[in-house]
Structure 1
Amino acid sequence: MTVTLDAPERRNAQTPSMWAALERIATTVPAGVRVVVLRGAGPAFSAGLDRGMLAPGGIEGEPSLLGMAADGPQALAEQIAGYQRGFTAWRECPALVVAAVQGHAIGAGFQLALAADLRVVAADVRFAMAEVSLGLVPDLGGTAALTRLVGPSRALELCLTGRPVGVEEAVATGLASLAVDPADLDATVEDLVAAVLSAPEDTVSEILGLFRGIESRDDAAQLRVEREAQGRILHARATQMRS
């Protein structure tokens, strides 16, 4: 299943209605779908928040962030909780989620890429947690996801400076699983998906479960979930052999 941000004329800038759509898709992925690819149409994955959201009049048809903020910080925080689900829901999706990232993935675009299990990037990729340049903080799940990948010190530095991360640093720090020439991005993602689909479905599902949430487990808990996963797989194989 492929989910495409399809507003290339705006570099796939994001709005609350897009976040609502992302949550709806993430929470209704059909049971037979084993891999979801997140991608952006055009030369950029996503330029992040549509800056019109921060203008006094906002964007027609979208909630006014400044208007909600005028009602007090708690009212806006409660609204943002809903927006966050467009990102965190992908971590709960039973399918493997792969972000295919080309060009700029800025702010909310970076945070969406971080919501995926794996990131395959083109050599022209530019990640940036650029909220600080707008006087904002990352608030769509990006701080925890970034810290899991690069550690707290580097994650803090990236959020404080908003500096861009190119392809070499992305690969070296684990932000990207693979990096390829832009012309090869689609084919590389297809090969990755084919490799995942060639493995037994229950095995892939169990491996995904081993890694999601791994940062919250101690060694003993991780050993337990490993042996329980293996037990389920081998029990299923034994049952198949007897039938």
Structure 2
Amino acid sequence: MTSNDSTSTVVLDKDGVRLTIDGTLATVTLANAAKRNAQSPALWRALTEAGRALPGSVRVVVLRGEGKSFSAGLDRQAFTPEGFEGEPSFLDMARGDDAALDAVIAEYQEAFTWWRRSDVLTIAAVQGHAIGAGFQLALACDLRVAAEDAQFAMRETSLGLVPDLTGTHPLVSLVGYARALEICVTGRYVHADEAERIGLANLVVPGAELDAAVRDLAGALLAAPRDAVVETKALLQGAVERSYEEQRVAERAAQGRRLRDLAGLGD
């Protein structure tokens, strides 16, 4: 899933994030291979901007990282007293009142939330390290295709922090509470074969085949009618929080909308 296809249009290229559009397919590339795609507040704002810049025609978004690693997590500069230039350091954030601290973290989280919008399907193509914020970014996507060398790790707890970039909910949903707790608290690496076995990765392929596998998956996702995909994603996303009976009602309502639309009777 290269980002330099002749048919692709570059929509955004800033702060280590590049967004390209090719018809109904968008590719978001973490483009700072020299730092293993380490993350920063500037990168998070660029990711948020990428989500807002998606044309309505886009149906599938692929997230990839250039170089040997998907993302090695938060840039270590964040842990220095000065932090990032022009950004509040961790110490500055801690000194602020509760509302200010909450607002800063909420802004950072926005980079991780739009991937689960019901109008797009998102795929993370993961190679090498996906650590901390990198792991959470992969978890933000609907689906994950991993290269055989992929390694996932949630290292926040070992640093005295918690995973706060929206990764805890999908992690528990995918692997269950007990395994999620063990992965987070130990900070250990989950290698690609285990990731596939426990449901973190939908597919594991040799590294040389990662782009092709993601391209094939994107093509399969694009084959179904868009409105049916949107309704199905919304149904499945809400299933965990609904009771069995509530899900039955939701299914009937969604199917009613689809039948009316197919009959030309929609709004």
Flag whether TM exceeds 0.5 (same fold).
yes
Match runs of 1:1-243 below 5 Å: 1-72=26-97, 74-92=99-117, 94-239=119-264
Point out where structure 2 has 5 or more consecutive residues left out of the alignment. 1-25
The answer to whether the 8 A contact 2:118-2:230 is kept is no
More strand by share: 2
Q: Which moved more, 1:113-122 or 1:208-217?
A: 208-217
More relative contact order in 1 or in 2 (CA 8 Å, sep 6+)?
A: 1
* Cα shift readout 1:38-81 (whole Å, capped 9, x = no counterpart): 11111100001011011011122433222221235553232101
* Equivalent AA in structure 1 for residue 251 of structure 2: E
The separation in 1 between residues aligned to 2:225 and 2:31, in whole angstroms, is 32
The separation in 2 between residues aligned to 1:30 and 1:213, in whole angstroms, is 25
The separation in 1 between residues aligned to 2:167 and 2:33, in whole angstroms, is 23
Q: CA-atom RMSD, angstroms? A: 1.5
Q: Secondary structure at the match of 1:36?
A: strand
1:93 Cα deviation after fit: 5.5
How many residues get paired?
240
The separation in 1 between residues aligned to 2:118 and 2:90, in whole angstroms, is 28
Normalised to the residue count of structure 2, the TM-score between the two structures is 0.86
The separation in 2 between residues aligned to 1:92 and 1:198, in whole angstroms, is 19
Percentage of matched positions with identical amino acids: 55
More helix by share: 1
Q: Which moved more, 1:71-80 or 1:24-33?
A: 71-80
* Cα shift readout 1:92-133 (whole Å, capped 9, x = no counterpart): 362101111111000000000000001111111100011122
The separation in 2 between residues aligned to 1:215 and 1:22, in whole angstroms, is 27
Q: Which moved more, 1:41-50 or 1:217-226?
A: 217-226
The answer to whether the 8 A contact 1:111-1:140 is kept is yes
The answer to whether the 8 A contact 1:54-1:66 is kept is no
The separation in 2 between residues aligned to 1:6 and 1:213, in whole angstroms, is 33
Point out where structure 1 has 5 or more consecutive residues left out of the alignment. none
The separation in 2 between residues aligned to 1:15 and 1:211, in whole angstroms, is 32
* Equivalent AA in structure 2 for residue 2 of structure 1: T
Normalised to the residue count of structure 1, the TM-score between the two structures is 0.94
The answer to whether the 8 A contact 1:29-1:93 is kept is no
1:197 Cα deviation after fit: 1.3
Q: Secondary structure at the match of 1:213?
A: helix
